[in-house]
């Protein structure tokens, strides 16, 4: 199940945007895009430079920081299984299954308001664990 503020508020918002920061916040990870923020509340995983990683395994934080400066060129939304961002050959995945999430919510996407500031007023999408 997923909730959204309005139609078209999904990952397409991030297509063409560059990752400006990867933040590790207590029990979740954020990808920041100079405005919008994608928050992984379940442990993300992916492939970078041909190397698979799964957070919080050793070395995964270093590989996740490599996404800084990369531009989203595609995405997949499978509301029952996962969210995937494509960066050329690289992938960043947020699992949506119950076994991966610490609570009922698996991911948040926070948009920007009229001033360009990150804010739920700019739209917020919440993906629930399945």
pTM beyond 0.85: yes
pLDDT of 19-69, one tens digit each? Answer: 999 999 988 999 999 899 999 999 999 999 999 999 999 999 999 999 999
Q: Which residues contact 58 (CB under 8 A, 6 or more apart)?
A: none
Q: Is residue 120 scored above 70 in pLDDT? A: yes
């Amino acid at each position: 199940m997923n909730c959204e503020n309005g139609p078209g508020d999904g990952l397409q918002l991030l297509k063409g945007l560059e990752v400006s920061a990867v933040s590790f916040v207590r029990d979740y990870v954020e990808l920041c895009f100079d405005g919008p923020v994608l928050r992984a509340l379940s442990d993300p995983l992916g492939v970078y430079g041909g190397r698979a990683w799964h957070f919080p395994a050793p070395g995964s934080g270093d590989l996740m920081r490599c996404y800084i400066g990369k531009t989203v060129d595609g995405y997949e939304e499978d509301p029952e299984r996962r969210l995937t961002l494509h960066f050329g050959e690289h992938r960043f995945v947020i699992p949506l299954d119950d076994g991966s999430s610490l609570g009922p919510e698996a991911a948040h996407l926070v948009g920007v308001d009229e001033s360009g500031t990150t804010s739920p007023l700019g739209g917020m999408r919440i993906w629930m664990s399945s």
